[in-house]
Amino acid sequence: RIQTLLESEMNSVQSQVHPAGMNAVLMDAKTGKIVAASQRPTFNAATLNGIGSAWTNTLTADTYEPGSTMKIFTMSASIDSGHYNGNDTYESGRYSIDGKIVPDWNPSGWGYITYNKGFALSSNVAMAHLEQQMGPKTWKKYIKRFGFLKSTNSGLPGELSGKLQFTYPIEQADSAFGQGIEVTTMQMMQALTAVSNNGTMMKPYFISKVTNSTNKKTVKKYGKQVVGHPISAKTAKAVRKHMQDVVYKSYGIGADYKIKGYRVAAKTGTAQVSNGSGGYASGDDSYLYSVAGMVPANNPRYVMFITMKQPKLTGTKTATQLLAEIFKPVITRALQNSNAKQTTVKRTMPSVAYQTTTYAKRILNEKGLNVVTIGSGDTVLKQSPSAGKSVSEQKRVFILTSKGWKMPRIIGWSKNDVEEFCSLTGLKLESTGKGYADSQSISFEKSISSGDTLKVNFE
């Protein structure tokens, strides 16, 4: 089940970096139906453990500055209002507005670059210029068109409307890259449907129908509801193209969100966290990281939005890599369940047995294959599939090294992949069900050896 997989991936990331909070929502791009949603902190629904007075539904009752994911809507507004020329250039790095500095995340900048490239690089300076070209009146009109600053009327208690600081030119420019504006996760989901659904914005909904518990008759039905047309279909398609550049251009900063077999449109975000006194918290752990993604990019079936607040990053993985650990398996499973059309690219499996592990990984990665390395040895002893076999990009390929075998996290793997892994390592597989793995008896990172028994349930 998608919800079960989402909870599992959220737990995994939570255990790695212990963020102050996380939200993740998967939505049907065409209807607004919430397919799966989760938050941290959470509580046990059976025992109510964890649902103290401080607990809130952060999907609706928590606001935050979205950071660079807001650039999706700045780009949309600029294109839709007729102000955008992506091949125009500007000087990146720093930009002064009335003596106040708008900095890029790379303060040295990238020299003079086009606005197209600026979006893929997540340049704040580019967005500040776009806001000024539109003018504050036009930009604010689009902010409201996208449904920000008012409740989505989700029906969930305590839903907030958000805030906007918009008095001074620097505040107007800041809002274009997600500072000085506060939003809810439900507002973001609703606004994203306008981009995924070719300009038509859908109201998010959780419940399909309410039935009488006695006679099982339907009391009320809920379904898709159009709540606006903030941009044209042409604009939406153009914005999705720019979001693909974030993932696939060599200079784009979203390569971690590539999914084998599907074209992804995404935008990453990093926002400073408020200190509650009108300023921002300080320190390495004072950020909210996010990603908004749509797949397949050309005709999205699903939209996913994830936030992670103040994780304790150790340097082993970046925030982007951690969010991708939630995004990729969950949205892949949803796409597989819905039989969404894949972009299949065939590759020929090279011979890497008896090569160094470093060389083998490089060769396989260059071919765009999804490599699973088993062990920490310097030399590859076995490979699967064998050399010369035709494999699709989304297919996992395995290389077995000489020592240090540890159990990978196989939640979300197909039954064929698990069987292939067990065959290569000599593990004895005991399985129930069919479909994709949703449990494993040997925990992640535990040492394994040939002859061990692995129990897996597939759903």
Which are the catalytic amino acids? 68
Residue 282 pairs in a beta bridge with: none
Judged on CB neighbours under 10 Å (0-12, 13-18, 19+), 23 is buried
Q: How are beta strands 396-401 and 380-384 bridged, if at all?
A: antiparallel
Short-list 198, 215, 164, 181, CA closest to 69: 181
Which amino acid, residue 337?
A: N
Q: How far is CA 267 from CA 4, 70, 328, in A?
A: 25, 9, 14
Distance CA 456, CA 437 (A): 6
Distance CA 114, CA 92 (A): 9
The answer to whether the beta carbons of residues 142 and 76 sit under 8 Å apart is: yes
Distance CA 190, CA 29 (A): 10
How many whole angstroms from its chain centre is CA 357? 30
Q: How many CB atoms lie within 10 A of CB 416?
A: 10
Around 1, how many Cα atoms within 13 Å sit in the side-chain half-sphere? 6
The answer to whether the beta carbons of residues 343 and 262 sit under 8 Å apart is: yes
- The position carrying tokens 């499996």 is 349
The first and second tokens of residue 179, run together, are: 């500072």
Distance CA 63, CA 183 (A): 5
Short-list 370, 360, 355, 346, CA closest to 420: 370
Cis preceding-peptide flag for 41 (omega within 30 of 0): yes
How many whole angstroms from its chain centre is CA 451? 38
In three-state secondary structure terms, 355 is: coil
Short-list 146, 236, 148, CA closest to 195: 236
